[in-house]
Each structure stands twice: as structure tokens, then as C-alpha cells.
Amino acid sequence: MRRPKKYEAGEATQYISRRAALRKLQLSLNDFRRLCILKGVYPREPKHRRRAQKGSSEIKILYHAKDIRFLLHESIVWTLRDYKIFARKTGRDRAIKDFRNLNRRLAMFPELKLDHIVKERYPTFIDALKDLDDCLTLLFLFSTFPSLHLIPREQSSLCRRLTIEFLHYIIASKSLRKVFISIKGYYFQAEIKGQKVTWIVPHYYPFKPQSRQEVDFKVMSIFVEFYTIMMGFTNFRLFHGLNLAYPPQFPSSVLQDSEDTLKDESSFVSDRIAALNFELLRTDKLQEDEEEPEIDMDLLEQDGDSKRIIKMKQEAQEVSRLRTLFKGLKFFINREVPREPLVIIIRSFGGKVSWDSSIFSGATFDESDETITHQIVDRPSLSTQYISRDYIQPQWLFDCVNRRQLLPTNQYFLGEQLPAHLSPFVDAKRDTYIPPEEKALHDPSLIETHVQSDDESDEEEPEEEGIDQELLDEQLQRAYQEETAEYKKYGGVDGVNEDELSDAEEASEEDDEEEEVDEKTRRLKEEKQKMSVQSGKVHKVNKRQERKAEVDEHRLKARMVKPRHRNLFRHLIRKQQTQEKEEWLLRKKRRTIDANDKEAKKTAKREARKAAAAAAAAASKLGGK
């Protein structure tokens, strides 16, 4: 048997460099990158890079050899090769000016089909829903690029239509669960077929100049090319699951890109939002707002775990109330408020929404409608107001959804300082820093009760001390009376003849009486010391010794770790240090904010006092004149 040579087996044969893969597939670098993105093949990091690179110490991009063999059997490879042949032949026709042959070749442009790749990467519909987060985030981003020269206009319009279709499904199914406002955009989370799908709707920055050096839009466009096919199949299944006609038919006035629409940001956005405010056509006669069927509790009781059953029932009841949170409410959005996230939220929970029809299209009722219950405004004041409605700020909608109930509107009126907008995507029982507003949200008693209890305890302390002093005085007086009575009894004051006693007996009795009195007074003093309030002694903490003890303990832990677990131990220690540093930074940031707010309040009070004093002085001068 031949002995294998070095690097002929093992890890050296499991990996292949990118240059070797290009030679094997006979593709250019751009085509190879496109093929890998579409098929989901990515570079791998070997365990021993020197062995995988056959002794070479250079840093190379490595792939699994089985992945490259997997790409060899892909039919797209032939289509990518046809692109090279097509480009070569059309270039020759242009060079010799054979336009007849050029038009014939352009009509036979090779088409790249990705349907089989979607089925290959996602065998079941649930697999596609699990991978929907990145897909939606990227499609929503590309749907806001109407005039970017690096992005094909057809691709951005397709992304816009697919995202609007998906939002219509979210509205029709009432599957939205959590929302949050961030500097990146608006976070949404929906529950679809038992899977939690989270995506970001970015803020609109499409008409600002974009630099090609910052982001490689060509690579992102390849991802979008695959995600559009995947999203089309997903929307088809979702719509047919609700008995909705697909593709949905929108009015001819919306989603029609023209030169004016692509140049004006407000008109481009208004068409997209107007499409969200239309009702979709159903293929059955069921109502859109029909209630979700209740859980069969008789079937759940067979499990025997009553706590889990009660928890599931409570969760089902909360979701049922959440689906109709804004049912029966009518909202009117002012022109300064971003409308798209608010339209999604209001319509997803059964509410009706409209805006000024003279500025934006798609409005369903006017501002003068008396049935409007809430008007969403983002300015300090309004010239005209209606008594029959509440004027609130947009954050009220987001907080109501996250709390799963209609909150009081007094904290969200015009000009009011809004409460803290907390993220619903964090764990309430985490070990890291938790802001005081979030603690008060889960335990309302932490807002003001602890301050009141401290004040009450301070006020009650002197009363308790007074009661203890009275008890002590009563006990001392009673003990003194007992002593005097015994002294009179044994001391001959009650008519006993002292001459009849001998000098020795008198001396011994006096000594005994003095010892008894001393013992009683000592006992009384001890009781008094036990019942009295003593001032505590300040214990000085030596921070250097505590730090030294922590370091010594850490060294002992590190010595006890086995050699094969040292890397894991170091990783845990670094993670702990990072968490502690982040918590310290957050606490420091909060202290700075509180100090600035306190200083601002003091400054405002000081200025108010100066203004009042100046007004009083001016009034006194006028009165003197």
C-alpha cells in the first residue's frame, strides 16, 4: 500500500482557495461572487490554516471543497457562461455595425431563473419565514431608492410593491406584536404561522447623495435579486392563506412612477402610504375583522400541566385584546408627522386613519369630521382645536402597542415632556443595567413609594425614641420605689429598735443591702443600654484590600481551570468585563443626564424668580408714580 504524501489527505484536501475555485468553475470573480450569494455558499475559516493552505503562511480566502463541487452541478453556471458569450458576440456586432444581427441577439438575451434555488434553500414554507428578517430589512431599504443611479429603477419599484403587499398581509391578519422607534428606523415584529419576524423600516434618506465607496451596492443588489423571488413566493402563500386575491389590485393613481414622482420625495412617499390605506379584495365573504378562534381548553387539559395551560390562556387573551386595540377609534394625522409607520400600526389593530387630502392622496375623511377621536400632532400648539378629540404625540401609539392597552393620554398632550420610550425587544429579567423607568414599569411601587417610606420613617423615628424614654423612666421609678420599700423594711424605719441589734449584725446587713442595691442598679443600667438607641460606628472600607482580594480570588479560579478549558474561561471573563463596562457607561450616562436636567430645572426656577422680581419692581414703580 502506498504511503500518502504530505498534504494529500486530511484538512489540506477539505479546503480550496478562491483562485482554484475560479479555475475549476471557469467563471470570473464577479460571476463567482454572484453564484455564491445566490446559492448561499460562503468562505470558511479552517481550524489549522497552515495545514489547509498546504504549508503556505499567506492569508487566503478558502472554501469547502464539497461546496465548490456542489456549485459544479448548478444550472446557473451555464447561464453565467452564456452571459460572457452574449457580451462577446454583441460587442463584435457593435464593432462591425451589424445592427440587424445585434437586435436579433438582444431579443435572445439569456434569462436567469432562480425559482429552483428558492425551493432548494427553503424546502418548507416555515424555513422561508425563519429567514425573512434580513430579506424584509433589505427590501424595505431598497424600496426607498427611487433616484439612485447605482440601483436599477425596476428593482427598487419591485421592492416597493413587494413590501406594500407584505404590509397589507400584516394589516389584514392583525399579526403585528411589537413596535419601536430607533435612530435606524422603525422596528416591527409580527407573529406569522408561529414564527416571530422582525424587520426595520428605515427613515427616508433616498434623495441625499450616496457615495459608492461607502457601500458596495452591486453586492447588495445581488442579494435583493434573490430576495425578491423569495418574497414573491412568500406573499403568494400568505395571501392565499387569508383568502385574499393575489396580486392585490391598487388604484391606478398610486404606484405609478413618473418623472415628477421620482424627483419629489413627498409625492413618492405619499403614493406608497396611499396604497396602504386601501381595502384589499377578498375571495370569500368573511369579514376582515373576524375574531381569532379561541383555544380548545378541553384538549389542553389532557396535558396535566395547569400552570402552562393558564399561561397559554392568558397569552391568548392578551393577543385577542391586542388585535382589536384601536377598534372603533378614528385617527387624523397632521402633515408634520411621518405617516407610514402610524398607518401600519393603526390599521393593524383595527383603527381608521386619514390625513389632509389637499396635500397627500389616499385620505378617507377630513379634519372637520366630528367622529375623530384622536389627532396626532408633533408641534407645541395648534391654532384651532376640537373639544371632541384628544391631541396626542405619535409616541402614544407605540407605547400602547408595547403595553398592550390604551394608555392615558394626559402624558402625551401637546407640549408635554414625553415619558421614556422603552424597547420591547429586551429581556425584563436581564442581569445588565435596567433603567429606573423600566423598573417602575414592571413594579409601579418603585416610582414614589420608596421616597415616601423614607420620609415617613424619618418622621417616625423621634416618636419611637420618646416612647422608649418614657418606658425607661417608668421602670426606673418603679425600681426605685421597690428599693426604698425594702430599705425601709430592713433598715428599721418602721419602728424597729436598732439598739437591739449587735454591731456585727448591723454591719453585715448594711453590706448586704449595699450589694443588693449595686446589683439592681447595675441590672437597670444594662437594661437601659439595651433599650436605648446607640449611634453606629462608621466602618471604613479599604478599597485596595477589596480589589486585592478580588484579584487573588480570580487567580485562584484561573489556576483551577484545566488547560483545555482556558480559552473558554478567558472568553467568559472578557464577556463579563465587557458587560460590566457597558453597565458602567450606561450608569454614567444616566447620571450625566440627571445632573443636566437638575441644573436646567434650577436655572429655569432662578430665571422665573428674577422675572417675578423684575415684574414686582416694575409694578411698585408704577404704583409709586
The residue with greater pLDDT, 416 or 533, is 416
Rounded to an integer, the average pLDDT of 89-105 is 89
CA distance 182 to 103: 50
CA distance 188 to 175: 11
Rounded to an integer, the average pLDDT of 461-474 is 46
Rounded to an integer, the average pLDDT of 28-40 is 91
Is it the case that residue 483 has pLDDT exceeding 80? no
Using the Cα atoms of residue 408, residue 411, residue 414 and residue 418 in order, give the sign of their dihedral: negative
Can you give the pLDDT at residue 446?
A: 60
Task: Tell me the per-residue pLDDT of 569-582, one tens digit each, with 9 for 90 and over.
Answer: 889 888 988 988 98
Confidence of residue 280 (pLDDT cuts 50, 70, 90): confident
CA distance 190 to 178: 7
Cell numbers of 58, please?
Answer: 499567506
The residue with greater pLDDT, 59 or 490, is 59
Is it the case that residue 205 has pLDDT exceeding 80? no
CA distance 19 to 24: 9
Is it the case that residue 493 has pLDDT exceeding 70? no
Which domains can be identified in the chain, with CATH numbers? 11-107 (no CATH), 115-208+216-285 (no CATH), 326-423 (3.40.50.10190)
Please list the residues that pair with 353 across neighbouring strands.
331
Q: Which of 15-24, 143-152, 319-328 has the lowest mean pLDDT?
A: 143-152
Confidence of residue 465 (pLDDT cuts 50, 70, 90): very low
Can you give the pLDDT at residue 208?
A: 58
Under DSSP, the state recorded for 411 is: G
Residues 6+ apart with CB under 8 A from 79: 110, 111, 112, 113
Residues 6+ apart with CB under 8 A from 95: none
Confidence of residue 464 (pLDDT cuts 50, 70, 90): very low
Under DSSP, the state recorded for 282 is: B
Percent pLDDT > 70 in the chain is 79
DSSP codes of every residue in 528-564: HHHHSPPPPPP----HHHHHHHHHHHHHHHHHHS-GG
Label residues 187-205 b or e (16+ Cβ within 10 Å = b).
Answer: bbbbebeebebbbbbeebe
Other CB atoms within a 10 A radius of the CB of residue 148 amount to 18
Is it the case that residue 260 has pLDDT exceeding 50? yes
- Select the highest-mean-pLDDT range: 61-70, 200-209, 247-256: 61-70
Can you give the pLDDT at residue 67?
A: 92
Cell numbers of 602, please?
Answer: 434650577
* CA nearest to 189, candidates 525, 350, 426: 426
CA distance 166 to 348: 12
Q: Which of 197-201, 231-235, 492-496 has the lowest mean pLDDT?
A: 492-496
Q: Which of 156-165, 284-293, 362-371 has the lowest mean pLDDT?
A: 284-293
**Which helix H or strand E contains 259, and what residues bound it?**
helix 259-263
Rounded to an integer, the average pLDDT of 306-327 is 84
Other CB atoms within a 10 A radius of the CB of residue 531 amount to 12
Cell numbers of 117, please?
Answer: 434555488
The residue with greater pLDDT, 575 or 489, is 575
Is it the case that residue 293 has pLDDT exceeding 80? no
When the pLDDT of each residue in the chain is averaged and rounded to a whole number, the result is: 81
Can you give the pLDDT at residue 498?
A: 44
Task: Tell me the per-residue pLDDT of 353-369, one tens digit each, with 9 for 90 and over.
Answer: 999 888 887 888 888 88
CA distance 165 to 278: 12
Rounded to an integer, the average pLDDT of 19-31 is 92
Cell 413594579, located at residue:
443
Residue 353, φ and ψ in degrees, nearest 5: -140, 150
Task: Tell me the per-residue pLDDT of 495-505, one tens digit each, with 9 for 90 and over.
Answer: 444 444 345 45
The residue with greater pLDDT, 212 or 338, is 338
Can you give the pLDDT at residue 118?
A: 92
| Count of CA atoms in the C-beta half-sphere (13 A) of 565 | 9
Phi-psi label, residue 97: left if phi above 0, alpha if psi -120 to 50, beta otherwise: left
Task: Tell me the per-residue pLDDT of 495-533, one tens digit each, with 9 for 90 and over.
Answer: 444 444 345 455 555 666 667 778 888 888 888 777 777
* CA nearest to 198, candidates 144, 135, 284: 135
Rounded to an integer, the average pLDDT of 83-87 is 88
Other CB atoms within a 10 A radius of the CB of residue 610 amount to 10
Is it the case that residue 154 has pLDDT exceeding 70? yes
Confidence of residue 210 (pLDDT cuts 50, 70, 90): low
Rounded to an integer, the average pLDDT of 416-421 is 88
**Which helix H or strand E contains 188, and what residues bound it?**
strand 185-192
Rounded to an integer, the average pLDDT of 139-158 is 80
Confidence of residue 451 (pLDDT cuts 50, 70, 90): very low
Is it the case that residue 127 has pLDDT exceeding 70? yes
Please list the residues that pair with 202 across neighbouring strands.
185
Q: Which of 123-132, 449-458, 549-558, 614-623 has the lowest mean pLDDT?
A: 449-458
Can you give the pLDDT at residue 543?
A: 85
Confidence of residue 381 (pLDDT cuts 50, 70, 90): confident
